Structure 1
Amino acid sequence: MRVLLFGKVSYYTMDTGSRIKLVREHRGLTQQKLGEMLGYGKSSANRIAQYEMGYRSPKANRLKEIAKAMNIREEIFLMPDETPIDLLRILIWYDWEHEGVLQLATSRTANTPPGKTVSPIIYSEQLPLNRLLLDWADQKHSLSVRKITRADYLEWMLQWPPRLP
């Protein structure tokens, strides 16, 4: 777990091992089963535990294999930060890790509490990027009104972004 300090507030960010554990548990896999899926043999559970605890760091090619075995996008483990989509992915995961810190609204659903300043609304002139922002806002809204479960939302995150037209 990495710690980022902002003034006197520290924010913890989920490291790769914690993400492996989160997805493995979400998929209902034991450490042993995931290790077997990766061909580790007898040391399966031990190797996965080492990844999850941060004692060992899987190389990029191994992270790709882990992502494939658990049917998720490899970017979940290999978070680049070079494009707007990368930045959105970072924000989505930050929001998951720090529930309640980020609030999303569309211009038609924005509701600023009395006495508060108007919150900024992020939008893009690039239609595909704007669709991704709206999709995220819709998913968060569905979660907040219990139209979907946290497990459904996590699954959406693991498959995000959808293939763009």
Structure 2
Amino acid sequence: MTVGEKIKFIRNFRGMTQKELGVGIGFDEKGADNRIAQYETNYRVPKKDTLLQIAKVLDVNLLNFISEVSGSAEDIMQTFFWLDEDNPGAINLFQLVRNPGECYASDDTSVRYNDSDDWPAHPPVGLWFKYGVVDDFMREWLVRKNELKAGEITREEYLEWKLNWPSTCDTSIRIKKWKR
């Protein structure tokens, strides 16, 4: 998603009008909605200080709009989170289980699965990171996705967790229902 598409998505999730967002970040009421519409259609690109204000008004982490370090753990996770929103169901997470008797047994990296209707027609490709903090983040994301699937959290709570991540992650101070 583009920055403009993300602004629109989050604004709609928050139930705000373009005018409310524009006024909230300090634009004159007369043209506030027009300016936000220009951002959302990518006609104009907001500057960093404007994105900071937008993030504050929308009550989301600035990481949704700006990555300070390309390829950082936070950047990787935000990319995955937005792909998940743009194409729900495209990312399927599952926990691998260690087979202690087979440690370092061979260079075979195959992961076996029991075929069922839940799997695609062709075997999927797995991905794992040798990047400790990303592994930790991915593990927690799996927990949140499983909570959503089990009905333990709502779709809104799940999205709230992603929009304010990493301040909502388990390693941060946990606030009830992941809201600030």
Coarse TM-score class (shorter-chain normalised): 0.7 to 0.9
Count of aligned residue pairs for this structure pair: 150
Give the structure-1-normalised TM-score.
0.78
Q: Which amino acid aligns with 1:69?
A: V
In 1, Cα distance between the equivalents of 2:78 and 2:128?
15
Whose radius of gyration is greater, 1 or 2?
Answer: 2
1:149 to partner: Cα distance: 2.3
In 2, Cα distance between the equivalents of 1:34 and 1:153?
23
1:52 corresponds in structure 2 to 40
In 1, Cα distance between the equivalents of 2:22 and 2:14?
14
Q: Equivalences for 1:92-111 in 2 at 5 Å?
A: 92-107=81-96
Preserved CA contact (<8 Å) 2:14 2:58: yes
Q: Does 1:21 align with 2:27?
A: no
Q: Which has the higher strand share?
A: 1
Unaligned 5+ residue runs, structure 1? 1-13
Preserved CA contact (<8 Å) 2:77 2:134: no
Q: Equivalences for 1:1-165 in 2 at 5 Å?
A: 14-41=1-28, 42-79=30-67, 80-107=69-96, 112-114=113-115, 117=123, 120=126, 122=128, 124=130, 126=132, 128-162=133-167, 164=171
Preserved CA contact (<8 Å) 2:61 2:163: yes
- Counting aligned pairs with the same residue, the percent is 31
- 1:70-102 CA distances to partner (integer Å, 9 max, x unpaired)? 111111011352312311221122122111221
Preserved CA contact (<8 Å) 2:4 2:39: yes
Give the structure-2-normalised TM-score.
0.72
CA RMSD of aligned residues (A): 2.5
2:104 corresponds in structure 1 to none
In 2, Cα distance between the equivalents of 1:33 and 1:125?
41
Unaligned 5+ residue runs, structure 2? 98-110, 173-180
